[in-house]
Amino acid sequence: MTNRTLLRLLMALLLLALYLPGYAQPTLLQNAPGRRLLSLNGSWNYILDPYETGFYDYRRMAFDQSPSGKGGYYDNQKPSSPKEPELIEYDFDKSAVMQIPGDWNSQDPKLLYYEGTIWFKKSFSLKPQAGKRYFLYFGAVNYEAHVYLNGKKLGMHRGGFTPIQFDITDRLSTTGDNFVIVKADNTRHAEAVPTINTDWWNYGGITRDVYIAETPATYIADYQVQLAKNDPGKLAGYVQLSGEGKGGQAVTLNIAEAGIRQTLKTDANGRATFSLPAKKLQLWSPQSPRLYAVRLSSGPDAVQDRIGFRTIQTRGQDILLNGKPIFMRGISIHDENPLIPGRTRGEGDQRMLLTWAKELGCNYVRLAHYPHPETMMRLADEMGLLVWAEVPVYWTIAWENPATYQNAEAQLSDLVNMGKNRASIVVWSVGNETPPGDARLKFMTSLVRKARALDDTRLVSAALELHRDGPNVLVDDALGAELDLTSFNEYAGWYWGDKLSDLLNYKFTIKYNKPVVISEFGGDALAGYHGDADTRWSEEYQEALYQNQLKMLSGISGLRGMTPWILTDFRATRRQHPVYQNGFNRKGLISSTGQKKKAFFVLQDYYRQMAQKYEHR
């Protein structure tokens, strides 16, 4: 076989592997930020590699008759003297640096629209200690990540918004000198989740925190502590140990403020389940977001968390929080700081977004269209905001591709694992605006049932499409039969092209006797651009649109909530109008400079009325 034929074969295998699911990873370490951590945030060296030279070493495969097996960037080799025969054509230590966490698009003007591969390298000091285990943890890498430690591959992961974890205990250098290298590739693919066509910026890179978590050799790997389904008087869950000797171990659950202390015994697989009375717990709600200090301990390991306890269910067309009807006063949010280019950079950015939502009068947020950082969910716990958490099954996914489904299910599983102890999360969403069809129905139904199998104490939904025939709007998507909420996106007055005065003529026929939560509506407005209520793109048009939308939607008998689109303007490469958009979706109620548009106050007033109405029920 010639070198050229070999190269072609390797490229074919590469293309095939591209669409297979990523390597499976074990259950993510629960509450990883609560462990003893070595942060790897900060400056990382990086090398731009649009031809993926550092991965496949094309030069050697094509031309070298006696390759040495070296040359990939993951080796972190050092260029030798120019007089030496070995040619090394890269040097991480002399390359540019980038701040991590952070996307590359916002840190270098040359990378604004870049989609492809960038290599990242970070050196760190850590000498492994006897009786300890070490886990390398990435909050997220968009989209495909290949991770190497000290020149050896740990594995790979596909999915731009869920955590990545590797046990590196046996891979650390005994001298304490280590380096980690990541090949990050944000190229879009038709078989990926999300697929090629999206409506947000494709931020590439290591976009969330990186750290190494330390545990004892036998450790608390996972736990779920929450109220039993629809039972405010019973606490239920499990604790899972990992490591040698995990069976037959004592595990203690302690919630001192509630007078709860229980010692459990793990089975042969290291799991201990519990179900016990919890009548003294003060229930979590947006009005009173009570969190308890929960401590789990087993031998030398102890984990502390802050957990709230509440029930969520539906009854007919009502949503019941702790047994009482609520109206979910919401807004949709992207994981992006509108004031500073790029993804949110940490708790400060995320708290700003949720504070704006609270100021709007929200008791509820939709974290669209993908899993948001764990810190965002913890802040929602603390601040008293219900959460709709979503996976990026968005628009036209490759419904009949088994690998695509496996990818979506893996992202859903990681989302549930990350958020299952957060009281704020009340809805798992399996997708957004997916067009009806047999293959899609099978795909989405399987995701719904997977979500219920993973966690049956929360509601499951999706943002559905609808059908219009003149002023008649029909909601009859067959997927709706599987869901707890009837949620759909509608853009009357914007994409539907109607006059705003025509909105009151619309009549909604909804097939399912379930609570209706409008997952999207809205229209664009450029902050500071003014005109009359008939002038598109003006603040006055958006204001009038909201006024008419709220009147129209109030005619739906089962209306129990909404998350209009969207809290803030956000960057989107699809939005090209040079005057009004300039690379931004302008449907935000708050502008890219932090200015509240006129529609903000319309929705704020409506939510004030709905809060008063439901508080007196």
The Cα 293–Cα 291 span in angstroms is 7
Q: Say what the pLDDT of residue 55 is.
A: 81
Among 386, 325, 326, 389, CA closest to 354: 386
Peptide bond into 312 cis (omega under 30): no
137 - beta bridge partners? Answer: 165, 211
Among 182, 147, 179, 156, CA closest to 46: 182
Q: Please, which pLDDT band fits residue 496 given cuts at 50, 70 and 90?
A: confident
Q: Which helix (H) or strand (E) holds 454?
A: helix 438-454
Angle (nearest 5°) at CA 431 between 387 and 549: 70
- How many residues belong to the chain? 617
Residue that is written with structure tokens 């009482």 in the block: 324
389 and 371 Cβ atoms separated by less than 8 Å: yes
Q: What is the mean pLDDT of residues 495-513?
A: 91
- pLDDT at residue 89, rounded to an integer: 86
Which pair of tokens denotes residue 108? 């270098």
Instruction: Report pLDDT digits (tens) over 100-159.
Output: 999 999 999 999 999 999 999 999 999 999 999 999 999 999 999 999 999 999 999 999
Q: Which residues pair with 123 in a beta bridge?
A: 179
* Dihedral, CA of residue 585, residue 556, residue 444 and residue 386, to nearest 10: 70
Provide the b/e sequence for 115-130 (b: ≥16 CB within 10 Å). Answer: eebbbbbbebebebee
CA distances to 306, 451, 463 from 438, rounded to whole Å, are 43, 20, 17
Q: What is the pLDDT of residues 298-313, one digit of tens each?
A: 999 999 999 999 999 9
* More confident position, 79 or 370: 370
The pLDDT tens digits of the residues spanning 414-467 come to 999 999 999 999 999 999 999 999 999 999 999 999 999 999 999 999 999 899
Model pLDDT, residue 114: 98
**SS3 letters for 554-597?**
CCCCCEEEECCCCCECEECCCCCCCCCCCCEECCCCECCCCCEC
| Residue 615: per-residue pLDDT | 76
Helical packing angle, 438-454 and 402-419, nearest 10°: 30
Tell whether the model's pLDDT for residue 65 goes beyond 90: no
Question: Chain-wide mean pLDDT for the chain?
Answer: 92
pLDDT on residue 57? 60
Q: What is the pLDDT of residues 520-559, one digit of tens each?
A: 999 999 999 999 999 999 999 999 999 999 999 999 999 9
Whole-structure pTM value: 0.93
Q: Rounded distance, CA 249 to CA 268, Å?
A: 9
Structure tokens at 65: 């008759």
Tokens of 457: 């104490």
Torsion sign (Cα): 498, 503, 507, 510: positive
- Looking at the DSSP bridge assignments, the partners of residue 295 are 254, 304
Rounded to 5 degrees, φ, ψ at 7 are: -60, -45
**On the CB side of 269, how many CA atoms lie within 13 Å of its CA?**
7
CA separation for the pair 148, 162 (Å, rounded): 19
- In sequence order, the β-bridge partners of residue 153 are 148
Q: Which residue, among 421, 415, 384, 383, has the nearest Cα to 235 in the 3D structure?
A: 421
Find the Cα–Cα–Cα–Cα dihedral 125, 130, 133, 135, rounded to 10°: 10
Using CA atoms, how far apart are residues 239 and 358, in angstroms rounded to an integer?
A: 34
Per-residue pLDDT at 261: 96
Cβ-contact 490, 471 below 8 angstroms: no
Residue recorded with tokens 């009068």: 361
Q: What percent of the chain has pLDDT over 70?
A: 92
CA distances from 200 to 197, 311, 411 (A): 9, 33, 19
Q: At what angle do helices 598-615 and 347-360 cross, to 10 degrees?
A: 70
Dihedral sign, Cα of residue 342, residue 488, residue 410, residue 265? positive
Flag whether pLDDT at 41 surpasses 70: yes
pLDDT at 185: 98
| Confidence band for 71, pLDDT divided at 50, 70 and 90 | low
Among 271, 140, 293, CA closest to 207: 140
Q: What is the pLDDT of residue 70?
A: 53
Answer yes or no: is pLDDT of 22 > 70. Answer: no
3-state secondary structure of 195: coil
Q: How far apart are CA 428 and CA 431, in angstroms?
A: 9
- Residue 56 neighbours by CB distance under 10 Å: 16
Q: What is the DSSP letter of 394?
A: B
The phi, psi pair for 162, rounded to 5°, reads -120, 155
Does the pLDDT value for residue 203 go beyond 70?
A: yes
CA 291 to chain centre: 23
What's the confidence (pLDDT) of residue 78? 83
Give the whole-angstrom CA distance, residue 427 versus residue 385: 12
Q: How many other CB atoms are there within 10 angstroms of residue 171's CB atom?
A: 18
Question: What would the mean pLDDT of 567-584 be, rounded to a whole number?
Answer: 95
Confidence at residue 498, expressed as pLDDT on a 0 to 100 scale:
77
DSSP state letters, 329-378: EEEEE-S--SSSSSS--SHHHHHHHHHHHHHHT-SEEEE-SSPPPHHHHH
Higher pLDDT, 69 or 71: 71
pLDDT digits (tens, 9 = 90+) for 77-101: 887 777 676 778 899 999 999 999 9
Other residues' Cβ atoms within 10 Å of the Cβ of residue 572: 20
Element (H, E) at 4: helix 3-18
Domains, in order of start, for the chain: 20-216 (2.60.120.260), 219-299 (2.60.40.10), 313-615 (3.20.20.80)
Q: Is pLDDT above 80 for 14? A: no
Which strand (E) or helix (H) includes residue 550?
A: helix 539-553
State the Cα–Cα distance between residues 100 and 120, nearest whole angstrom: 10
Which residues lie closer than 8 Å to 318 by C-beta, 6 or more apart? Answer: 325, 515, 560
For 247-294, write each residue's pLDDT tens digit: 999 999 999 999 999 999 999 999 999 999 998 899 999 999 999 999
Tokens of 558: 């089962």
Answer yes or no: are the C-beta atoms of 319 and 283 closer than 8 Å.
no
